[in-house]
Amino acid sequence: MIRRLRRSLVRVGAMASKETTHVLRDPRMLYLALVMPVVMLFLFGYGISIDLDRIPLGVADQDRTEASRALVHTLTESGELTVAADTTPEGADRLFRRGDAAAVLVVPQQYGERLARRERVALQLLVDGSDVTSANQVLSKVDALVRAETRRLAGASVAQAQVPLTVKVWTRYNPAGRSAIFMVPGLAAFIIALTAVLLTTLTVAGEWERGSMEQLFASPVGRLEIVLGKLIPYLVLGLLELLLVVAFGASVFDVPVRGAPVLVLLVGFFFVVGMLGQGLLVSVITKNQLVATQAGLLSALLPSLLLSGMVFPIENMPVPLQLLSRVIPARYMVHALREILLKGNGLAVLWPDLVAVIAFAAAVIALSTLRFQRRLA
């Protein structure tokens, strides 16, 4: 038994050595595994951002007093809001249609007089709602600034008399609300899934097209040994890619690493194995590099992007899509990376994600081995 296992390991090592030689001789593989993920993370990390900065604000000042000008100055002092144009309430629609302003603040007449008499003054904010994400951020920013200005004008005694309860908000894990902190862990899982599938979709299909599959069939190497031998070199590349992407995200986008890096490697190991196995399964079924690449992209790109929770919360999806997302390994990798990097959680929280990626990896490796038939037809 031990001798048989030793011979099997020797054959797997020989297959892995052969595949490693192919990888080293093809610089495109190294580019795909080590260079393209960093480029994609850089482009996506800066390109996909839900943070709004320097929001153009139209001002319809119907009071034209020192108090109204002080209000506008307070709202725009931080630089998050900038005065795009002086307008009227009726001219707000024209600004929205031209895209010159995301919102218009309407200061009513007698604003300064009513403020001096300590009367309640209602400000009006007209918002362009064609972009819901931008509209919500505008509402949030303006509301926070107006509340701060109200507390300043009211003074401590009046504020305490009128507001018996105060709430102090403390945002954990991402206090600045930066979208990169939220997006980069998801992007890491998405990029690794995409490149891992692409790395292996070309392996067996390439063997079929080059005609070298006959040599493999003539060799005393079992199906599982061929599968494992082909996966090992790409597994090493995938783990290097994972470390590279996490390090790049931490250094360039200031993504914190609060948890144990060994947990990132543990979950990432089985996730990479699963995605490599998925690419290998596609390659075994299609036996054509062009078809394998297209099928690999479709099976990895869209599910990992749309159903993993990277961009859209899974809880907000329809129930059928929530159920479908349970078989998407990127869902568990995205959740695990966010829990480890941002919250510092351990296996007590991550074990369902770990079990899920292990089950997926075992399933696709088994299917790849079963589909790999030792015949040419």
User: pLDDT, tens digit, for every residue of 61-119?
Assistant: 888 888 888 888 888 887 778 888 888 878 888 887 777 888 888 888 888 888 777 77
Q: Is the pLDDT of residue 330 over 90?
A: yes
Q: What is the pLDDT of residues 278-288, one digit of tens each?
A: 988 888 888 77
CB 277 within 8 A of CB 358: no
Residues 154, 199 within the same domain? no
Mean pLDDT to the nearest integer, 309-318 = 83
51 pLDDT exceeds 50? yes
pLDDT at 355: 96
Q: What is the pLDDT of residues 132-180, one digit of tens each?
A: 666 777 777 777 777 777 777 766 444 444 444 444 556 667 766 677 7
Higher-scoring residue by pLDDT: 3, 250: 250
| pTM of the predicted model over 0.85 | no
Domain count, the chain: 2
188 and 281 together in one domain: yes
CATH number, residue 150 = 3.40.1710.10
- Do residues 196 and 275 touch, judged by C-beta distance below 8 A? yes
Whether residue 69 lies inside any domain: the answer is yes
pLDDT tens for residues 199-248?
888 777 777 777 666 666 666 777 777 788 888 888 998 899 999 999 98
Q: Identify the pLDDT of residue 270.
A: 96
pLDDT at residue number 163: 41
Q: Give the torsion through C-alpha atoms of 158, 159, 162, 166, to 10 deg.
A: -160
Is 194 in the same domain as 325? yes
Distance linking the first and last C-alpha atoms of the chain:
34
d(CA 175, CA 170) in angstroms, rounded, equals: 7
254 in the same domain as 235:
yes
The answer to whether the CB of 228 falls within 8 A of the CB of 12 is: yes
Minimum mean pLDDT range among 185-199, 210-224, 292-306: 210-224
Residue 172 lies in a domain: no
The more confidently predicted of residues 71 and 277 is 277
Examine the pLDDT at 332 and tell me if it is beyond 90: yes
Domain that holds residue 30: 2-49+179-371
- Looking only at the bridges linking them, the beta strands covering 124-127 and 55-61 are unpaired
Assigned domain for 282 exists: yes
For residues 154 and 255, state if they share a domain.
no
Q: How many whole angstroms separate alpha carbon 271 and alpha carbon 245?
A: 15
- Residues 192 and 103 placed together within one structural domain of the fold: no
The whole-number pLDDT of residue 155 equals 61
> Higher model confidence: residue 116 or residue 363?
363
Domain shared by 249 and 338, yes or no: yes
pLDDT-derived band at 305, boundaries 50, 70, 90: confident
pLDDT at 375: 56
pLDDT (0 to 100) of residue 49: 60
Residues 80 and 190 in one domain: no
Taking phi over 0 as left and psi of -120 to 50 as alpha, with beta for the rest, 318 belongs to beta
Q: What is the mean pLDDT of the chain?
A: 80
* In-domain check, residue 134: yes
- pLDDT tens per residue, range 2-46: 777 777 777 778 778 877 887 777 777 777 777 878 887 877 777
